Each structure stands twice: as structure tokens, then as C-alpha cells.
Amino acid sequence: MVKRLRDYGLQSERLLWPTKGPSRFEEELGVEELEQALGLTTLEKAVRWAQTKSMWPDTFGLACCAIELMAIVSSRYDIARFGMEAFRSSPRQADLLIVSGRVSQKMAAPLRQIYDQMLEPKWVIAMGACASSGGMFNNYAILQGVDRIVAVDIYIPFCPPRPEALMEGIIRLHEAHHAGVPPAYERRQVAT
């Protein structure tokens, strides 16, 4: 049950009218509605909001999925509306790694190095079947899921995922961060 302001003991008019109970305002509004109505927030929430509106992806593509990744900067998909069109060529300026394609064993060490050099907080999206699980490449040469070497926040299915699927994954990541879900590497540290 939603707690209203009156349930917290608020009676804003009691100084002027001691016998009056909670006002209509306090009867009807809860804390969240009050926050929305007045635009109140906390510094933590404001920072999280700013971070979701300016995630900078690392310029990193591995295989066919990378072609779909490139499409999201086009005018049709327009990743700029999320403040994310600035793909960075240095991991030191990026906080989002979109692993788009199969990861060969040979590529695992460079990928991990890029991940280690990224800013914190940082997030990882495993784009497509190959990055998520090795996909059709069930063999010794391909890593059977990038989560063996980095903590993954969002998995996107399909082979290849369309740009819309990647956008969906990005929106889910934003929603999770906005709701206070810590990045996957923090959760993994807690779990181990």
C-alpha cells in the first residue's frame, strides 16, 4: 500500500488550526508523487540521471554484429538523442563497452585490457549470440561468452540483433542505472 504524507505525520496547517487533521494535499500525495510534482530529487539520483544521458561507448567492433552497431549512429536510429553519439577511440574516455561479435581466444586479452582501462562506473553490453554465449561457434577458438572475462550488464539475443534490439538493450541499461542497480562488476564483487 502506498504511504501518503499523512501517514508520515505531516499536518502542514496545524500551526494555524491545531485541531485540523492532515490537509487534502497530505491525504492524496505520497513521497514519490511529491517529488515528481515539485521536481525534488537527491544528488545521487541527479548524478545517475546525468550518467545515463551521457554514456560514451568505446569504438570497438569484432564481427558482423558490429555493422548493426554502426547503424545506431545513423539518422534513422539516432543514438544522439541519448547523448551517446560520441564513440570514443580511447577506453580512458569511455564508460560503455558494446561487445559486438564473437570473441576469439586471441582477442580476449586485448578486450580485457580495454575494459580495465575504461572509466568507472562502466558497463558492458554483450551484443548478439556470439558475444553472449559463443553462438554457433562452439569450438576451441572462440570464447563461449564474453562474461568469462568481463562482467556483463545486458545480453542482447539474435544473430545478428537489429539496431532496434541494441537500442532496447541500451534503454534497459539506462532504466536499471536510473533505478539504482549497480554495474555488473560491482554486483559480481559482492557475490564473490
How would you label 80-107 residue by residue, b for 16+ Cβ within 10 Å and e otherwise? eebebeebbeebeebbbbbbbbbbeeeb
Minimal distance, residue 168 CB to ligand SF4, in Å = 16
d(CA 160, CA 66): 9
Q: Does 64 bind ligand SF4 (CB under 6 A)?
A: yes
Q: Are strands 123-127 and 96-100 parallel, antiparallel or unpaired?
A: parallel
Minimal distance, residue 170 CB to ligand SF4, in Å = 17
Q: Is the peptide bond before 121 cis (omega within 30 degrees of 0)?
A: yes
Q: Which amino acid is at 24?
A: R
Q: Does 163 bind ligand SF4 (CB under 6 A)?
A: no
- C-alpha distances (whole Å) from 57 to each of 26, 47, 94, 113, 156 are 44, 18, 5, 16, 16
Q: Does 135 bind ligand SF4 (CB under 6 A)?
A: yes
Minimal distance, residue 143 CB to ligand SF4, in Å = 12
Q: Which residue stretch of 21-29, 88-96, 128-136, 173-181 sits at the interface with ligand SF4 (rule: CB under 6 A)?
A: 128-136
Comparing C-alpha atoms, which of 129, 123, 132, 100 is closest to residue 188? Answer: 123
Q: Which amino acid is at 116?
A: D
Q: Which residue stretch of 51-59, 60-68, 70-78, 81-89 sits at the interface with ligand SF4 (rule: CB under 6 A)?
A: 60-68
3-state class (DSSP) for residue 59: coil
Nearer to ligand SF4, 52 or 132 (CB): 132
Q: Does 65 bind ligand SF4 (CB under 6 A)?
A: yes
Nearer to ligand SF4, 29 or 62 (CB): 62
Minimal distance, residue 167 CB to ligand SF4, in Å = 16
Point out which residues bind ligand SF4 (CB under 6 A): 63-65, 101-102, 128-130, 135, 159-160
